[in-house]
Amino acid sequence: MAVAGFTTRALPSFECRSDPDFSGVPRPEIPGSAGRFFGKSCSAPTHASFGLSSLILRFPPNFVRQLSIKARRNCSNIGVAQVVAASWSNSHAAAAKAVDAAASAAAVEITEAAVVGGYGSCNDSDVQFEGLDAVNAASFLRSDGSIAIHAGERLGRGIVTDAITTPVVNTSAYFFNKTSELIDFKEKRRASFEYGRYGNPTTVVAEEKISALEGAESTLLMASGMCASTVLLLALVPAGGHLVTTTDCYRKTRIFIETFLPKMGIKATVIDPADIGALESALEENNVSLFFTESPTNPFLRCVDIELVAKLCHEKGALVCIDGTFATPLNQKALVHGADIVLHSATKFIGGHNDVLAGCISGSEKLISTVRNLHHVLGGALNPNAAYLIIRGMKTLHLRVQQQNSTALRMAKILEAHPKVKRVYYPGLPSHPEHDVATRQMTGFGGVVSFEVDGDLTITAKFVDALRIPYIAPSFGGCESIVDQPAIMSYWDLSQSDRAKYGIMDNLVRFSFGVEDFEDLKADILQALETI
């Protein structure tokens, strides 16, 4: 088969990957490609790390024959089908011969001209990787939208298949053909997931997609956003240690910091998101291990100056973790601005369909491995079916976020001008206290708007009940619009005066805009306001 722009050369023999944690699936080298696309740093992986010498997957012979034919039509799969065929052979000699034949048959080198006219630097403002040295290498995918669709899949998925969609690998354990293979694995000469709690091929694809968007070396997916938060805090703050967090945050995170961490002797300093002086004092007076905050925060969408906070914390040896759930990886890249770890409740915008629970953390391989070791002990593993839903959701992430950004900003302006709305909290508005900060470090301001209705608890509830499109529910970030009254939804167990200590007034509304038509949402909100 003649392929324009391709030259041939023999590939080296396949070797097993040596790292046992399977934090990411090894990928073949493509000249000029960026590791960002594969969810690793932008230094391109070498052929030696492309481990296919021992495969677990088994297919019937007729499928192997069909796959081999199809594989020759796709340069990324050439030779892989032959390796699968070899795994079906009962003869080790025949298997070795098939692998050698695959190496010869796959003698293809992709030139720059072969892929959309060559590669360039990551200079697209959509990607925002200019400030991150680890991902400065070139990539032929120049937008976050394309990366969200193809990262972890298109040019090197760890699961051998011609299917466009990533298969769900439903297994609780992975077998070894003989004891010597198990010993090789234990002594780090052979790669395997070993047990479902330690990893899954489907989950790895989702992790690599998120890594690619964040410009991170590694990502770890867990069973929920709270699982990710709590495991991270336990792993990175030592017993008797100290952390700094902010006043405005998700309530369950606050409960964990205020109630559970003190049992380990861990103390916390709580500061206003914009109070840099308080942060400097906390760093001077305490041996701070971690600064942990959301940006934007929940529910007032306060924003932290990530670059400045990272500079101050790093000077004192403290790590910085930013929960970017409200921002999404498209609107804000915390690692680019100096954060060490970025956390997401993938339940929200990343999944995007109100149908899956998941949480993730992204950062350097060293830090994520530290959290991963504790995660393997605590066991909050993500189900591979949930990982599949995350992958599917991310295919439309850029489309959804663009629509939600636009709708939220337009509605925030309308609400701010409405006589029955007292105040609007949205970082895209000049009236927001950190509007300048948000403008510097965000490319979009998110799909959630919080605002205070001109009325009490009952009047506000009347407004919420009059809405026809959004569901009254917790959570946010999905295709369907969601509305809630935080005083009732999240703080009803507290008295009115105790709620007020956290700034939660009875007339506060949090509105998560979905992907419905803007004019429909506008008409619905305006008619509901007319009822009060």
d(CA 208, CA 148): 10
Sign of the Cα pseudo-torsion (74, 76, 77, 82, in order): positive
Could you confirm whether 323 is annotated as catalytic?
Answer: yes
Catalytic residue from among 119, 174, 250, 491: 250
220: Cβ contacts below 8 Å, ≥ 6 apart: 23, 207, 228, 360, 361, 362, 368, 371, 372, 375
Map residue 166 onto helix, strand or coil.
Answer: coil
Q: Which residue has the tokens 């990539």?
A: 139
CB atoms within 10 A of CB 128: 22
d(CA 197, CA 283): 37
Catalytic residue from among 21, 144, 305, 323: 323
Looking at the DSSP assignment, which residues form a beta bridge with residue 322? Answer: 293, 342
460: tokens are 């506000």
Catalytic residue from among 190, 348, 400, 510: 348
Residue 193 near residue 17 (C-beta atoms within 8 A): no
Three-state SS for 446-480 is CCEEEEEECCCHHHHHHHHHHCCCCEECCCCCCCC
d(CA 261, CA 241): 10
Catalytic residue from among 154, 189, 197, 267: 197
Residue 11 near residue 107 (C-beta atoms within 8 A): yes
**CA separation (Å) from 332 to 17, 94, 294, 409, 482?**
33, 52, 12, 16, 22
**CA separation (Å) from 40 to 13, 51, 93, 336, 390?**
23, 16, 35, 15, 19
Could you confirm whether 197 is annotated as catalytic?
Answer: yes
Residue 165 near residue 146 (C-beta atoms within 8 A): no
d(CA 461, CA 280): 41
Distance of CA 217 to the CA centre of its chain: 12
133: Cβ contacts below 8 Å, ≥ 6 apart: none
Could you confirm whether 157 is annotated as catalytic?
Answer: no
Give the residue numbers annotated as catalytic, written as ranges: 197, 250, 323, 348
